[in-house]
């Protein structure tokens, strides 16, 4: 009986690992079941999961908005502009 309970109930540490894994990969059926059981019981892990989802959405938005920015900002001073381009190229090497 103790072994069955141990299989069903995860620690909060393992649950947070599964929450993060779920954002990147598909969980196995066992992991999905264990995660859902723990989330129903533990208020703190439920909050952690909500915050993790929110942070993922914010990061996705930030990355997508970065892709829309021009590579070189509009600069009127040509010397400054060439220095910026030089520094960008030097840092990428």
In this prediction, residue 66 carries a pLDDT of: 66
In this prediction, residue 82 carries a pLDDT of: 77
Helix (H, G, I), strand (E, B) or coil at 25: coil
Q: What domain range is 25 assigned to?
A: 2-91
pTM above 0.85, yes or no: no
At 8, which helix (H) or strand (E)?
helix 2-8
Tell me how many domains the chain contains.
1
In this prediction, residue 68 carries a pLDDT of: 64
Token representation of residue 17: 């690992």
In this prediction, residue 70 carries a pLDDT of: 56
pLDDT in tens, the chain (93 residues): 556 666 668 899 999 999 999 988 999 999 999 999 999 999 999 999 999 999 988 888 777 776 665 555 565 777 777 777 777 777 665
In this prediction, residue 85 carries a pLDDT of: 75
């Amino acid at each position: 009986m103790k072994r069955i309970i141990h299989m069903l109930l995860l620690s909060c540490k393992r649950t947070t690992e599964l929450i993060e894994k779920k954002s990147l990969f598909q969980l196995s059926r066992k992991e999905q079941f264990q995660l859902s059981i723990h989330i129903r019981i533990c208020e703190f892990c439920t909050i952690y999961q909500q915050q993790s989802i929110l942070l993922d959405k914010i990061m996705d938005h930030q990355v997508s908005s970065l892709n829309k920015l021009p590579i070189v900002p509009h600069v009127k001073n040509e010397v400054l502009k060439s220095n910026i381009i030089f520094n960008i190229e030097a840092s990428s090497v």
